[in-house]
Structure 1
């Protein structure tokens, strides 16, 4: 007979496997990203994947402190993404055609 604990355990193992595949694909995008904004988005995705890992471990162990850690990681990841985006905007991109592009190049 299948128990609820067995279903949760099997789902957690499957989720960890899927998250591992997502982690590998995202690390590849960070390394081989064609541009800086692509790498920034991949780093943001890595934060989301790490939160997923923490959530799955919290469900498997029943230790609720992991949820607080995941929330803190989400906040730090969001602030890091905003900081990287501001850096990219202040630096300007090659081939930028926005309204301020000509002012920066003059």
Structure 2
């Protein structure tokens, strides 16, 4: 195992330096990456506001359930974009927790709608 690592150590170091340069603001790729991530953060924020509006003002309970499920996915996407933007894995644990909570809330909404006797 150590022989393989010793043979390919320079390739690993080169790949790590390329990854570091992509996250650097000094290169055009770094500027483009952060520009796209910033646009994605703004887009996620706008769609989160639309889903919050639909959760509050939804005409039916099913609309509110779908909006809350979409909202949980968008919050997970926002956390992933923030992880890329800040360049840390700090938010990655939060992404996993939010995914599990989003799934559980979707199941809870489905059971609530089914027990009320309304068609889904």
Query: Shared fold by TM > 0.5?
Result: yes
Measure, in 2, the Cα distance between the counterparts of 1:28 and 1:3: 38
In structure 1, what is the Cα distance between the partners aligned to 2:111 and 2:39? 37
Other-structure match for 1:6: 31
Structure 1: which 5+ runs fail to align? 99-106
1:33 to 58, 65, 70: 58
Quick one: which of 9, 19, 40 aligns to 2:44?
A: 19
Runs of 4+ in 1 over 2 A off after TM superposition: none
Q: Partner residue of 2:80?
A: 55
RMSD across aligned positions (CA): 1.8
Give the number of the structure whose alpha-carbon radius of gyration is greater.
2
Equivalent position to 1:79, from 104, 108, 113? 104
Gaps of 5+ in 2: 1-25
Counting matched residue pairs gives 95
